Amino acid sequence: MRSKYLVFSIYIMFSFGVSAETPATTYQPTQADYKTGEKWVWKYKGVTTDGEIRAEGKETKEITNQNGVISMLTENGTIPLASIVKPIESTTARYSWPLHVGKKWTFEERWTSDDGTKGATIQDAEVLSFKEETVEAGTFIAYTIRYKGKITNSRGYSADTEDVHLYAPKLKTFIKLTQQQKDYLYVEELIEYSEK
């Protein structure tokens, strides 16, 4: 389950920017919105109702300049920033541009886990609010985005899901992600943000 969120969280991190015209409307950022040396650190934990920990640790991302190429350094390698901020054209993407309170859409994702299991996530999304939210890294103005739907996979698994993302445009990323499905709760929270 963790591998799905590694890819997902990389994508989420670079999927938002803020319009200078309307603070409560968010557009996808460009490469110019990022600074070399920006660093984000999250803690994450996934646990069943029986107390079994299926995922736990920390994840760090940092903007670097490697031989003139602005990139994001992650635990899985280095990704050119230009490929991450490339405009998304899907009508069922994780985010529907521009974002504002009250916006609704359907998110649909097909994925393959590390063990080869194929799956699908289909959820109805809604932006519920845009207000101050506090996490371990501090207090930020953030959207609350709720996703409700179903996750299925090729091994016969099927579960209702509810995800809640707190996304802070100033930081260009989510500051907290919570997913509940059946007996499993996954939480990822920003614990540090810094600029050099």
In degrees and rounded to multiples of 5, residue 46 shows phi and psi of -125, 125
User: Per residue, what are the HEC states of the chain?
Assistant: CHHHHHHHHHHHHCCCEECCCCCCCEECCCHHHCCCCCEEEEEEEEEECCCCEEEEEEEEEEEEEECCEEEEEECCEEEEHHHHCCCCCCCCCCCCCCECCCCEEEEEEEEECCCCCEEEEEEEEEEEEEEEEEECCEEEEEEEEEEEEEEEECCCCEEEEEEEEEEEHHHCEEEEEEEEECCEEEEEEEEEEECC
Q: What is the pLDDT of residues 56-75, one digit of tens each?
A: 999 999 999 988 999 999 99
Residue extents of the structural domains in the chain: 2-194
pLDDT reported for residue 20 = 36
Find the mean pLDDT for residues 138-162: 96
Task: Give CA–CA dist 189/175, Å, rounded.
Answer: 6
Task: Give CA–CA dist 137/129, Å, rounded.
Answer: 20
Assigned CATH topology for domain 2-194: YmcC-like fold (2.40.360)
- pLDDT band with cut points at 50, 70 and 90 for residue 153: very high
Q: Which of 13, 6, 168, 171 is nearest to 85 (CA)?
A: 13
pLDDT reported for residue 55 = 96
Choice between 139 and 90, residue whose per-residue pLDDT is larger: 139
Q: Which two tokens stand for residue 71?
A: 């990139």
Indicate whether 141 pLDDT > 90: yes
Q: What is the pLDDT of residues 117-133, one digit of tens each?
A: 999 999 999 999 999 99
- pLDDT band with cut points at 50, 70 and 90 for residue 17: very low
Indicate whether 12 pLDDT > 60: no
Indicate whether 93 pLDDT > 50: yes
Computed over every residue of the chain, the mean pLDDT equals 88
Task: Give CA–CA dist 11/9, Å, rounded.
Answer: 5
